[in-house]
Structure 1
Amino acid sequence: MKKYVVIIIAIVWLSACNKNFLDRRPLDATTSDVFFETPDQMRTYMNTFYNSGNFPKYENHGSDYESDNQVTNTPNQRLQGTRTVTTSGTISFTDVRRINFFFDNYKRVEKNHTLTQYQQYLGEAYFFRALIYFKLLQSYGAIQVVTKELGVDSPELFNPRDPRNAVADFIIGQLDSAATYLTADKTSGAGRINRWIALLIQSRVALYEGSWEKYHAGTVFGVDNAKPEVYFAKAAEAAGKVMDAKVYSVYSTGNPQSDYKNLFALMDYSTNTEMMFWRKYDNNLTGGDPDFTNDRFYRMRTPTNRTITRQLADAYLCTNGKPITGNEQFHGYNTLALEAENRDPRFYQTIATPDQVWKIQINGSTENWSGAYAQLNSAADYNAPSGYIIQKGYNPNLVYHVQQYEESPGIIYRYAEVLLNYAEAKAELGTLTQADIDKTIKPLRDRVAMPNLLMAAIATDPKWEFPALSPLINEIRRERRVELAAEGFRWNDIARWAAADELIVGTRPKGFKASQIAKNPFPVDEQGFLDPFQKSLPSGYGFKLGRDYLNSIPESEILLNDKLKQNPGW
């Protein structure tokens, strides 16, 4: 892999041209000689990393459109392989500078306060610095780690980048510190982060780096002195600590036909056992603030080109715990209703089917999805390139649907990921036992009344996505795909598994049988399935394996330093 240096101050201040501008402090902070003298000042500063302009951008929840799980009416450029090098612009290190400002100045609080009075905010600072760097690692690979606020003449600006595994180690270390200082209280999940969230993210980072080092070995993205097993062990350790604490559990009311769907449509998670962190929207507090606009339910009333692929739909097992291929329980594709029969209930709790209630009017009257189903592709709002309409995260009660200022909560972290990270890490280490599966995969399947995954009786699937890997790894990955569908994990999973050659290159997203709908502006394949990109991508996605796993570095930054090199393939 080629090397480059991220030029921190040049990135942050590239548009500035005079020294007075360059010397300014962050606009959301007072001068350092009077700030951070009290825990309240520390809290105020850390609050800026929670707001909608900061915190969610370190997350990936909300959609899988940059993957094989979901599709709109336009091919994704990364998957298509048509991105070009940016000639201008920067990699934003603004938040690196902002968080380092905190670390450079927070110790003045020690004059009049003990550690116990401010350690929560110190833990948050470590947590957010880890999130910031993890996002950069996922986007650009190896980067320069800077832990102090730099000046315009700092020699560190021209240091070479740190190896990606050194960056990963730094992130994991930051999360160790975060877990040390953060509260162990569960809280309502909508206030401040806690120790268990830091450990969740540590398991995510370690699993990501371990997978990357294992599956990209021998490629231009490989890592010198790779030790994936070290990261897998750390991922299992961190997830295990959360599990052992027994602070969280899988949400279930005992109704397998609706519990999974309802989890994502609740209006409050304050007492929810699975939700680790979520965003609360309260118009009495934030109404009119553009940073807090929200209208998820309102937008989901019609598909508007937001659809799920048949590739994802086919991943759902039948209720006997076996894949659909050659399964007598699978009733085929002629109608969506038939396709949903005898399937893992997460199928029809993720994908809308014609018989479900789609709208509950304020007067209590109901309308099922067949009304929208009959109108598919009849107008822009009803365009559905694949036909499979997502309902995960949708609440049909129209009293909650408000354009722009809706109070539907935003899910950020949930306990299911902890369980899946643990199971995958142990499987990669070759140490996963049936007892491990019983405490990770089984609770997720129990929620929807699906049979447990039995290591000694895994049903062969001739269409496994990863035929070169073990049946156990294939099924662990399937469970992850199904449980976390449309939550924004899929691209990062494909990237860390180096799986674009199996899942993306030369493929096109497909949909359900076109014969089910009266109007259809989209192409149809030779078997009668919707094939929306048949004309625009006749040879399928052109994802470039030696390039597109990472983003390019803007050429304008490369010109600033002779040590800055472009990423592979660009």
Structure 2
Amino acid sequence: MKKIFLAAIAIAFFAACSKSFLERSPIDEQTEESFYKTPEQALQALVAVYNELEIGDYDNIHLVSEIASDDCFGGGGTSDLVWKQWDRFEASSNMNLTLWQKYYTGIYRANILLSKIDNVSWGSDTTLKTQYIAEARYLRAYFYFDLVRLFGNIPMTTTPLTPSELNIPQSDPATVYAQIATDLKYAADNLPATPYASISSSDYGRVTKWAAESLIGRVYLYYTGYYSQNDLAGVITKAQAINYLDNVINTGGFGLVDNFANLWQSALTNFVGEDNKETVWSIKFTYKGLGNWDQHNGNRMQVDIAIRNQILDPYYKGWGAGTVNSSLWNAYDNNDTRRGATIVSIENENLTAYSQGDQAQYTGYFWKKYTPMNSGNAVEMGGDFQIDNYYDDVVIRYSDVLLMAAELNLDGNLSKAQDYYNQVRDRAFQSTSYRKTLTADAAGKTLIMNERRLELALEGQRYWDLLRQGVDVAKAAIDNAGTSDMTVSFPAATKGLFKIPEQEISLSNGVYQQNAGW
């Protein structure tokens, strides 16, 4: 943590994401005394916080959590070790270091902005001030949520620390979740209730009231499930979480795209495009880095999961990470449109030109969601195929909101839960004939969790959904007895937590303690 805070330069703002409000000019040779004076400078500081969302390569939480789940193996090349280590829960000294650094840099930048925002001359209208505070607090909560899910006992601060304060003790998870809930509640209650259709295209990617309310639902379900609690750290009750989700559904103006397959680039000419009515919040990416490795404009996860080293039209090439477990393919009904829209099947798509080469943990299945397409690929756009893939990472989809609301309403308003569940399932099958009847008990919960697996496959939710059902449930799903290359044994002693990087423990001079099981 010491290294992170010392390395994060809060006044050297650089807008890596060249899209709309994020398209800011770099600020050179400024000091804290000369900065934080105008609303424009406050916005530049806010963009610096958003910028950390784009940082990540082979180790972003979306990919890492999918590899850790039962839906994917590590994959990559036979000599690639890191992805296999996450898949098999094998330790190395500084695994997860970039994840740790990314989130604490973002938190540091948010804390700096929040600590300086009263110095800005806002004039008589402080609407922007309230909005920027709400956005910064949402982003800080988002960063802390990923950290506490990954590592459990983490150091937490809401103020920028001086060098003498860096080695603060790890906080109890309940304390961290209370801060997350408080920040999200502030964002939900203070951001404008602008419905989806009225949001300016120049503001796509910015935090909204709906994103905050939806994330409250996600955090509530994870915390109460994983820690077996009745509310969200004493800050948000179940009734409040339901109200927040219902508000997104009833007044947010979102809806399901008619055809599930059209949500993804692989739909080609039928692709409905980014920022469609189902996108509650996404992390924005662009090809405009144009091969500059110092930029972080592109979605680097896309090259990681693309079919290894070969172009098989309509798909572009990549590194073959996260090979999809056949159990996920087999979990879909043959009439479920989501299967073919989610997973590339070498056999079913008759991709006879495929050559395995040095692909590790080959299953015959790859990601279709997020795989770059041959037409309009990064190179055609003038960039580098390794760093300039430009499909946005959709963090919260409306269908996820419906399923979260169905789960929370299951034992209180069964008819509402059934309606939300039906909407997702009807779209998947393009028919009402495949509905299943929910019950207000464990069987109903199982139906919803199974639906979440199929609807949100390869979107970074499966590992956390398993853990919040219980470590025993996660182990039963993740353990895989196959060939030596495919054998996975979930270490229950870790309780699903990741290893804290050894470097950070060393820098803390013994203040930080490693998670159990590592």
TM-score by length of 1: 0.70
Equivalent position amino acid for 2:279 in 1: M
Equivalent position amino acid for 1:349 in 2: A
Equivalent position amino acid for 2:412 in 1: T
Contact 1:123 1:182 (8 Å CA) reproduced: yes
Given the alignment, which residue of 104, 125, 135 partners 2:136?
125
Structure 2 match to 1:48: 48
Structure 2 match to 1:164: 173
Q: 1:503: how far off? A: 1.0
**Which aligned pairs between 1:294-373 and structure 2 lie closer than 5 A?**
296=302, 300-301=315-316, 305=320, 307-317=323-333, 342-352=334-344, 369-370=349-350, 372=351
Cα distance per residue 1:163-204 (max 9 Å; x no partner): 211211110110111123323323236342211111111211
Kindly tell me: are residues 60 and 448 of structure 1, through their superposed partners in 2, closer, same or farther at Cα, counting changes over 3 Å?
Answer: farther
Structure 2 match to 1:423: 406
Separation of aligned partners in 1, 2:211 and 2:324: 29
Structure 1 match to 2:492: 545
**Which aligned pairs between 1:229-308 and structure 2 lie closer than 5 A?**
232-252=238-258, 258-259=261-262, 269=273, 272-278=276-282, 286-290=289-293, 291-293=296-298, 296=302, 300-301=315-316, 305=320, 307-308=323-324
Given the alignment, which residue of 368, 380, 390 partners 1:391?
368
Contact 1:126 1:178 (8 Å CA) reproduced: yes
Cα distance per residue 1:436-481 (max 9 Å; x no partner): 221344244335324223126x9xxxxxxxxxx8221211111000
Kindly tell me: are residues 121 and 65 of structure 1, through their superposed partners in 2, closer, same or farther at Cα, counting changes over 3 Å?
Answer: same
Over the residues paired in the alignment, what is the CA RMSD in angstroms? 3.8
Separation of aligned partners in 2, 1:44 and 1:292: 17
Structure 1 match to 2:211: 197
More RCO (CA 8 Å, sep 6+)? 1
Equivalent position amino acid for 2:408 in 1: A
**Is 1:565 aligned to 2:478, yes or no?**
no
Contact 2:69 2:462 (8 Å CA) reproduced: yes
Q: 1:118: how far off? A: 2.9
**Is 1:212 aligned to 2:229, yes or no?**
no
Contact 1:11 1:557 (8 Å CA) reproduced: no
Equivalent position amino acid for 1:437 in 2: Q
Separation of aligned partners in 2, 1:413 and 1:96: 21
Contact 2:150 2:497 (8 Å CA) reproduced: yes
Q: 1:128: how far off? A: 1.1
Kindly tell me: are residues 11 and 127 of structure 1, through their superposed partners in 2, closer, same or farther at Cα, counting changes over 3 Å?
Answer: same
Separation of aligned partners in 2, 1:194 and 1:443: 23
Structure 2 match to 1:153: 164
Q: 1:393: how far off? A: 3.9
Structure 1 match to 2:436: 453
**Partner SS, residue 280 of structure 2:** strand
Cα distance per residue 1:12-56 (max 9 Å; x no partner): 33x9xxxxxx9x865437322232222211111111222366477
**Is 1:12 aligned to 2:5, yes or no?**
yes
Contact 1:276 1:413 (8 Å CA) reproduced: yes
Kindly tell me: are residues 301 and 244 of structure 1, through their superposed partners in 2, closer, same or farther at Cα, counting changes over 3 Å?
Answer: same
Separation of aligned partners in 2, 1:224 and 1:431: 14
Separation of aligned partners in 2, 1:558 and 1:348: 44
> Could you list the runs of 5+ residues in structure 2 that have no partner in the other structure?
14-26, 77-82, 308-314
**Is 1:504 aligned to 2:506, yes or no?**
no
Contact 1:303 1:389 (8 Å CA) reproduced: no
Q: 1:376: how far off? A: 3.9
More helix by share: 2
> Could you list the runs of 5+ residues in structure 1 that have no partner in the other structure?
1-7, 16-21, 215-222, 318-341, 357-368, 459-468, 509-532
Structure 1 match to 2:452: 480
Equivalent position amino acid for 1:70 in 2: C
Structure 2 match to 1:332: none
Q: 1:72: how far off? A: 4.3
TM-score by length of 2: 0.76
Q: 1:378: how far off? A: 4.8
Contact 1:249 1:273 (8 Å CA) reproduced: yes
Kindly tell me: are residues 500 and 41 of structure 1, through their superposed partners in 2, closer, same or farther at Cα, counting changes over 3 Å?
Answer: same
Contact 2:361 2:485 (8 Å CA) reproduced: no
Given the alignment, which residue of 424, 434, 437 partners 2:415?
434
Contact 2:231 2:237 (8 Å CA) reproduced: no
| % same residue | 23
Cα distance per residue 1:306-328 (max 9 Å; x no partner): 532121122223xxxxxxxxxxx
Equivalent position amino acid for 1:476 in 2: I
